[in-house]
Structure 1
Amino acid sequence: MTTTGHPSAEATSRDHAVAGRPTSLARLVAIELRKTVDTRAGRWLLLLVVGAAVAALVYRLVNAADEPADFSRFFGTALTGVQLLLPVVGVLAMTAEWTQRTALATFTLVPRRGRVIAAKFLAAVGLSAGVVLVVAGIAAVATLAGGLATGHGAVWTEVGRTLGGGVVSVACNVVMGAAFGALLQQTAAALVLYFVAPVIWAAAAPVLLGDAARWLDVFGAFTAISRFDLTGVVAPTLVALAVWVGLPLAAGVVRSLRREVA
């Protein structure tokens, strides 16, 4: 019996390599996106993210106040779980080759590791943007339902700014998760570092550094960026991003480029 189906990502890359043509970055991004959603863990993670957003919106609708339904508030409620869970996609994207022992095959088919790493980051960020837009659509439906339920209508002020802030804030979280994944190259360790280190620092920094702690406050930096309001906090925001995102990202990329593949 002969079965047919879509060619695997590895087979596609192999065909291009054999033909003597380097695999384009766009195709590599498509391959990484497929690898993310084709696994059982990836599918369940995405379903969990969307499910958490829906559950948060249902709770808000059930406890809706007697006032106009504001899209910004509904979207913010739905985005809480997304910001918490979606960065796991970034971690998994950067650790998969090492934890699943597929690095040898991947880097043999695409010897230029930098292209593969760039594709992983672009795929993770693109996927995060897509998920945010899906959640925004669900939040819009919930806003309409809330307006009808309360009888006060819906409010749609600054929708563009709200959506843009949501996409940017989630993308920043995903890039930070990917940076930690590239640095540690081990899924469990990267997840622990991503979730625990910023929280511990946020609790300890004010005691250790006082007012200077804001210069390393990554949560504050993400919040300022999501609001598109850096008034008075440009320098602290850039420093916090450099320390929590830039440094792990640079170190992780260098390690991924230089690590021996067994």
Structure 2
Amino acid sequence: MRSVAAEFTKVTSTRIWWVIALVLFGYIAVLAGGLSALFGGVQSGAIGSSMGGGQAPPPAQLPALIYSFASSVGYVFPVLLGALAVTGEFRHQTLTPTFLAVPRRGRVLAAKLTTLFGFGAVLGVVALLASVGVGALVMGTFGVDPVLGESDTWALIGRSVLAMALWAAVGVGLGVLVPNQVATIVIVLAFTQFIEPLLRLASTFTDATAGIGRFLPGAASDALVGASFFSIAAPGASVLEWWQGGLVLLAYAVVLTVIGYLVTWRRDVT
């Protein structure tokens, strides 16, 4: 517990966590509000639709789609926070006094995972305040029921928080495996914004690749949450059950962390 408290202090003693939270909130709020207005206006007739009828989500699916932006779009932020929490220690050599105070490096890593898992959940709440708060308000303006009284909606919200927490753990594992901060940031942005979306789209072309594509981390996260904007872009994509998606995402975090522990975490840091 003392190690967890120390890791919590490390994160909160810098500005990066609340800067990421503010950017995340603004980013999701703009996306959720803009697309809620677009789809809500099309469905209410206030906006003329230039899209194919099959491309616009039906009113019953629109709230879940908008609320899922918190994780399906915002997941890159907890990954970055988790990775920066580790790579920053290598960059500034703060691991040296940490390992002198707590020689058991496995305990330090477990404390860091626990702490960042919690901060990932906090970022999940922030993202949901944007997607649910702004999205429900805008959808209500256009006469679309935000279905906030449905248990399925709150189950999706809870799974979104869990997904964001797991993404932060994935970021920790990546930071341990690739301790160079610049390289880690490049890997996160390149994979989440370009490589994986292309792989997921390409995996829908054949049945053989569809079964593989659903095990990609982003696809597993969307399966855990239960909704995603990707379902419109690639409606034929194969998906896992929500609990299977959670286990796959957890497996990514565990595998990255274990390999990083064996490869880099046990090395001399000074």
Would the TM-score normalized by the shorter structure come out above 0.5?
Answer: yes
Is 1:249 the equivalent of 2:257?
yes
Note if contact 2:105-2:266 (Cα within 8 Å) is conserved in structure 1. Answer: no
1:161–1:197 Cα change, 3 Å: same
1:200-215 mapped onto 2 (5 Å cutoff): 200=195, 203=199, 206=203, 210=209, 213-214=212-213
1:94-133 mapped onto 2 (5 Å cutoff): 94-133=86-125
1:80–1:259 Cα change, 3 Å: same
1:227–1:80 Cα change, 3 Å: closer
Deviation at 1:232, TM superposition (A): 11
Percent identical: 23
Task: Supply the AA of the counterpart residue of 2:105.
Answer: R
Distance across 2 between alignment mates of 1:184 and 1:68: 43
What SS does the aligned partner of 1:154 have? coil
Note if contact 1:32-1:120 (Cα within 8 Å) is conserved in structure 2. Answer: yes
* Structure 1 partner of 2:28: 53
Distance across 1 between alignment mates of 2:248 and 2:143: 46
Note if contact 2:36-2:139 (Cα within 8 Å) is conserved in structure 1. Answer: no
Unaligned runs of 5+ in 1: 1-24
Note if contact 2:72-2:218 (Cα within 8 Å) is conserved in structure 1. Answer: no
Unaligned runs of 5+ in 2: 45-58, 228-238
* Structure 2 partner of 1:260: 268
Note if contact 2:80-2:188 (Cα within 8 Å) is conserved in structure 1. Answer: no
State which drifts further: 222-231 or 108-117.
222-231
Task: Supply the AA of the counterpart residue of 1:137.
Answer: L
1:176–1:210 Cα change, 3 Å: same
Note if contact 2:78-2:120 (Cα within 8 Å) is conserved in structure 1. Answer: yes
Is 1:162 the equivalent of 2:156?
yes
Is 1:224 the equivalent of 2:258?
no
Distance across 2 between alignment mates of 1:68 and 1:211: 26
Is 1:190 the equivalent of 2:165?
no
State which drifts further: 44-53 or 247-256.
247-256
Task: Supply the AA of the counterpart residue of 1:87.
Answer: V
Deviation at 1:257, TM superposition (A): 4.2
Distance across 2 between alignment mates of 1:154 and 1:215: 28
Distance across 2 between alignment mates of 1:152 and 1:127: 33
* Structure 1 partner of 2:51: none
Distance across 1 between alignment mates of 2:29 and 2:266: 42
1:54–1:33 Cα change, 3 Å: farther
Q: Which of the two has higher C-alpha Rg?
A: 1
**Alignment coverage as a number of residue pairs:** 235
State which drifts further: 77-86 or 48-57.
77-86
Deviation at 1:153, TM superposition (A): 4.2
Note if contact 1:29-1:119 (Cα within 8 Å) is conserved in structure 2. Answer: yes
Distance across 2 between alignment mates of 1:58 and 1:215: 28
* Structure 1 partner of 2:14: 39
Distance across 1 between alignment mates of 2:145 and 2:215: 41
Distance across 1 between alignment mates of 2:73 and 2:222: 15
Select the structure with the greater relative contact order (CA < 8 A; seq sep ≥ 6).
2
Distance across 1 between alignment mates of 2:211 and 2:153: 34
Distance across 1 between alignment mates of 2:125 and 2:182: 28
Q: What is the aligned counterpart of 1:150 among 132, 142, 154?
A: 142
Deviation at 1:107, TM superposition (A): 1.0
* Structure 2 partner of 1:9: none
Distance across 2 between alignment mates of 1:80 and 1:232: 14
1:172–1:240 Cα change, 3 Å: closer
* Structure 1 partner of 2:129: 137
1:34–1:249 Cα change, 3 Å: same
Deviation at 1:237, TM superposition (A): 8.4
Q: What is the aligned counterpart of 2:168 among 144, 165, 174?
A: 174
* Structure 2 partner of 1:6: none
